[in-house]
Amino acid sequence: MLYRALSGDFPRSVVLSVVLLAILVGLAFAPFLFPGTRSLETAARICIFIALVASYDLMLGYGGIVSFAHTVFFGIGAYGVALATANLGRGFDALLIGSLTGAVVAAVLALLVALFSLRVRAIFFAMITLAVASAVAVLVSQLSSITGGEDGLNLLIPRELTPAVKFAEERFLGVRLNGKLLNYYLVFFGSLALFLVLLRVVNSPFGRVLQAIRENDFRAEAIGYRVVIYRTVATCIAAVVASLAGSLFAIWLRYVGPDTTLSLEIMIDILLMVVIGGMGTMYGAVIGATLFVIAQNYLQNLMGAASEMTAAVPLLPHLLNPDRWLLWLGVLFVLSVYFFPTGVVGRLRGRA
């Protein structure tokens, strides 16, 4: 299989293997299995957040680096594409230049942040990254002449990636073969490539050293490994992947703004996905992102249906009111942490 050829990292659980295969097939054929604009939007977000969460897990789960600035790199990639298309036109060359420029800027910023702050202990580094994230968010909002401020920027992506371009008049399996479909598969294969690269990284000698540093950085330093250098490289790799994921998100959404890429809420969501899926397991990013994005998009609908079905039961319909979906999402998170302290992947592997 492809993941074996690239990493040799098996799920080590029959149930986990089946779940991962189901997610892969579901995302690969999402336009045909789940027709509809909302379903396609959900599938695209899952793909992008898998890559984004996996990049954060490289820092937190494998390197033991607690950062609150990961959305900064995500936003840099998104704004890089937006500014490139605004200045170079709506061609594929603009998308490529914007994505690569954003990745380089993200790597440089990650290098600066790491060199100046990784020598301090975890909580102080986390506070520094939180300050950086807040400063960048304010800066983007203030530079309205360049970034569009709070209103953000609309992207002029190539017409081949928009629904206006049809590749065939007749539908295939009930799906229109248009630019929107091509755009989705750009996101799918781009996210898959980023995930496989990270899977290869964590199963390389570099990844093994990173895990050793996470377990005991003093001992790793004592046997000759430069802890700061390894953590700096991991931060830069994670920043580049997050930036490219942000580029894919901007291309798919055709819009970028502070609320869609730089908000603290997104950072918290990323952290929740890592914890739910399982820290220190790339497959945990797949499980966590899939469960969380589906819950975000469909929990409210499920609660509405449950509220109607229990209309005759006292008090229960009020508790299941769709307006309280965030409350129940929080309850589900608490239960998942309680029953799966090592994440879904850790629990499944433990049982196996």
Q: Give per-residue pLDDT as tens, 251-288.
A: 999 999 888 888 888 998 999 899 888 888 889 999 99
Q: Which residue has the higher pLDDT, 298 or 239?
A: 239
What does the block give as tokens for 289? 């992102």
Q: Give the number of other CB atoms < 10 A from CB of residue 277.
A: 30
Whether 2 has a pLDDT exceeding 60, the answer reads: no
Task: State how many domains the chain has.
Answer: 1
| Tokens encoding 166 | 């049809």
350 has pLDDT over 80: no
d(CA 60, CA 54): 10
Range of the domain at 341: 2-351
In whole angstroms, give the CA distance from residue 213 to residue 334. Answer: 29
56-60, 86-90, 163-167, 325-329, range with greatest mean pLDDT: 56-60
Yes or no: say if 248 and 103 are a contact pair by the CB < 8 Å rule. Answer: no
Q: What is the mean pLDDT of residues 151-158?
A: 87
CA–CA separation, 301 and 333 (whole Å)? 18
Task: Name which of 78-87, 196-205, 339-348 the model is least confident about.
Answer: 339-348
- Name which of 35-44, 79-88, 165-174, 236-245 the model is least confident about: 165-174
Report residue 345's pLDDT band, with 50, 70 and 90 as the boundaries: confident
pLDDT in tens, 17-49: 899 999 999 999 989 888 888 889 999 999 999
Exposed/middle/buried for 338, CB within 10 Å: 0-12, 13-18, 19+? exposed
Q: Tell me: pLDDT of 3 over 50.
A: no
| Spatial CA neighbour of 287 closest among 99, 50, 86 | 50
Tokens 């060359």 sit on residue: 93
The domain that contains 162 carries what CATH number? 1.10.3470
- Whole-number pLDDT of residue 79: 94
Q: Are 198 and 241 in contact (CB under 8 A)?
A: yes
